[in-house]
Amino acid sequence: MCGFAGFLDRSETTRAETLTEVTGRMIDTLVHRGPDDGGVWVDPLACVALGHRRLSILDLSAAGHQPMLSRSGRYVVAFNGEIYNHLELRRELDSDPQSVDHPLFDRQPVLAAEGASSYPNPHPSPLPEGEGANSGWRGHSDTETLLAAVEAWGVGEALKRFVGMFAFALWDRHDKVLYLARDRLGEKPLYYGWQGGVLLFGSELKAFKPHSAFRAEIDREALTLLLRYNYIPAPFTIYRGIKKLPPGAFVALGAHRSEAHPVSYWTARDAALRGQLQPYSGTEGEAVEALDALLRQAVAGQMVADVPLGAFLSGGFDSSTVVALMQAQSLRPVKTFTIGFKEQEYNEAEHAKAVARHLGTEHTELYVTPEEAMAVIPKLPVLYDEPFADSSQIPTFLVSQLARQHVTVSLSGDGGDELFGGYNRYFWGANFWRRMHYLPRSLRTALAGGLTVVPPRYWDTLFRSFGFLLPPALRYASPGDKLHKLSFLLSAKNPEDVHFDLVSHWKEPSRLVRGAEEPATVLNTPVQWPELRDLEHRMMYLDTVSYLPDDILVKVDRAAMGVSLETRVPLLDHRVVEFAWSLPLSMKIREDKGKWLLRQVLYRYVPPPLMERPKMGFGVPIEHWLRGPLKAWAEALIDPKRLKREGYFNPVLIWEKWQQHLSGRRNWSYYLWDVLMFQAWLEAQ
């Protein structure tokens, strides 16, 4: 896991010393992503510069130093991530005579080249002794494999063969083209954009700030998206002119190719359509066996590292499955980590401990006080670069910080909800529409008013008192919030509105942001959706292409890399994703419970009684903190005079919700957190 940044100056007049110095300052902002090594490569003739910070995971020697040149010298790359199948690719390359020589450049074992400089180590590393030297490989890093694959097969074909999580910037010295590429599901970040005549690119937005061309102009339309979703979906960012590269895509740019569009080499849309058109035809028992084998393969591939490795363990189905498969393939106890809270409605630590005890892992837990959790809040604007308002960013940072004290790599269970139907909203939303859509909208609107008259905390009290009368599938955590969310669905016009309402915070964000219109995204553009018969599958698809890469994976990547911890997500191996899309809905959601097939795999390793409990989110009590210890901090950020002076928000709408929240009449914590995270980010700029 690493970080990179660089730029291409269309003027082609910048001197080598300036290219090196500016890029050095850009990557200095990314030391947290790569504390072990750093380098800069520049080509003053083309006015291009690539910088890299390295967190050494595979090949800890100097043979893994980046930016790295290909064997022929044609390509230079700055690479972030892991290619898990790179050893298999090496064997394929070694057996392919076409991959040995390249007609455009002489073979040379270089890390730097004529007309380029390397910083801080300008000298090529010697070939290592042993097998690598005999076969022509300089070392055993996957970066070197990436370059050889590109030389042999080209960028597009090489990407299709990679199994991994990655983002990279690759400069073709012959064609003078810069390739930017990102992994299939969007685990690794990549930002880019033209600022005047300069193309900036990098792993995080903070790396753009040292360059004088960066304008840092706030995009008000992107701000409306933050208020709608609590994150800014791709391709938008908080800055005008800067984009997120979509998952599963690459783009070719150059001094004369400034308007190139991303090209997809893999899409979740195609995977979903292909899976539904060619459904899995085996029995349920065979499906359990097939998924078990695929997950074992994915987990085993992601357990390869030259540094200590462990896993997050919340005690839920996803992380427990990953840990169970790790332990089943490990000769020693797997290191597992969880954090706990004294507030029982937010605490899963006891469940995690029980799973760890059963599996025999080396388990570490830390109970966090409210003061320790709230101490993370001032760090959030620096960690996330653009405003990001998923409050589970706080415990995610804390568990990453805990894990980093013991390991350098941690596996995570993210992705199971989107692939196997785990979110409550899938069956809540679908069941609601099937049962309620035939009622007149006027009647449904009246019912909605009845639900929201009662504050969430009173619903919570009612459910605590009489919840034992309900079936287990309806015993949700925070039932009051869920009923208030349900009220919005009652006015839905069609099933497509159901998911949009469920994932929306502010319903009319353009009323809140001055001088802005909310742009369309994939979430409200049906023409971009695959034709999937089931509403649940349509919801899962939309979460896979937006909420997963732009919220969940952003949250994990920034929190973990903020403490120099690499995270890996086995459930997002694209072979697992494609298999999941071939499954019928009945193998995912059954009896109002999601992840049916994933549960059957886990039950091979963990007994069901340890797992059967209501689903919990990975959150903190923001609702209560805003009424208590965070009240003064929040009021200072959303003071109406301040908001009016800054000119981004309509103060009246925000202050109204703040007063209702303080009184306990409504729980507006999600809405308010969106605004507060922007305000805290703005203050930190």
204-213, 297-306, 422-431, 597-606: range with lowest mean pLDDT: 422-431
Place of tokens 């018969």: 533
pLDDT interval class at 125 (50, 70, 90) = very low
Check residue 59 and give its pLDDT: 60
pLDDT interval class at 616 (50, 70, 90) = low
pTM across the whole model = 0.90
* Nearest of 499, 518, 505 to residue 653 by alpha carbon: 505
Distance (Å, whole) CA 186 – CA 266: 11
Burial readout 330-366 (b: 16 or more C-beta within 10 A, e: otherwise):
eeeebbbbbbbbeeeebbbbebbbbbbeebebebbbe
What backbone phi and psi angles, to 5 degrees, belong to 506? Answer: -65, 125
Per-residue pLDDT of 50-60, as tens digits, reads: 999 987 776 66
Distance (Å, whole) CA 527 – CA 525: 6
Per-residue pLDDT of 318-336, as tens digits, reads: 999 999 999 999 999 999 9
Distance (Å, whole) CA 460 – CA 483: 10
In this structure, the chain runs to a length of 685
Place of tokens 């979903």: 272
Burial readout 255-268 (b: 16 or more C-beta within 10 A, e: otherwise):
beeeeeebeebbbb
Mean pLDDT, to the nearest integer, of 17-43?
A: 94
What type of residue sits at position 395? P
| Range among 135-144, 152-161, 657-666 rated most confident | 152-161
Distance (Å, whole) CA 183 – CA 162: 9
Neighbours of 464 (CB within 10 A): 11
Mean pLDDT, to the nearest integer, of 545-563?
A: 97
Per-residue pLDDT of 194-223, as tens digits, reads: 998 999 999 999 999 999 999 999 999 999
* CA angle in degrees (0–180, nearest 5) for 89-184-600: 95
Cβ contact 412:556 at 8 Å = yes
Residue 670 has pLDDT above 80, yes or no: yes
Mean pLDDT, to the nearest integer, of 350-375?
A: 93
Q: How far is CA 527 from CA 221, 265, 331, 379, 624, in A?
A: 21, 20, 50, 39, 41
Residue 301 token pair: 């591939």
Check residue 471 and give its pLDDT: 65
Domains identified in the chain and CATH numbers? 2-266 (3.60.20.10), 269-420+550-610 (3.40.50.620), 621-685 (no CATH)
Mean pLDDT, to the nearest integer, of 572-595?
A: 96
* Nearest of 392, 26, 381 to residue 203 by alpha carbon: 26
* Nearest of 31, 34, 89, 25 to residue 57 by alpha carbon: 34
Residue 133 has pLDDT above 60, yes or no: no
Residue 99 has pLDDT above 60, yes or no: no
More confident position, 351 or 286? 286
Residue 675 token pair: 């605004």
Cβ contact 486:427 at 8 Å = no
Residue 526, Cβ density class (10 Å: 0-12 exposed, 13-18 middle, ≥19 buried):
exposed
Q: 3-state class of 309 per DSSP?
A: strand
**DSSP letter (8 states) at residue 548:** I
* Rg (the chain; Cα; Å): 25
Q: How is 82-134 classified by DSSP, letter by letter?
A: EETTHHHHHHHHHT-GGGT--TTS-----SS-TT--EES--SPPPPPSSHHHH
Per-residue pLDDT of 473-486, as tens digits, reads: 556 666 776 676 66
Residue 103 has pLDDT above 50, yes or no: no
What type of residue sits at position 118? S
Q: 3-state class of 52 per DSSP?
A: strand
Place of tokens 């049906």: 526
| Range among 367-376, 429-438, 579-588 rated most confident | 579-588
Mean pLDDT, to the nearest integer, of 570-588?
A: 98
Distance (Å, whole) CA 91 – CA 80: 22
Q: How far is CA 457 from CA 259, 314, 667, in A?
A: 52, 26, 8
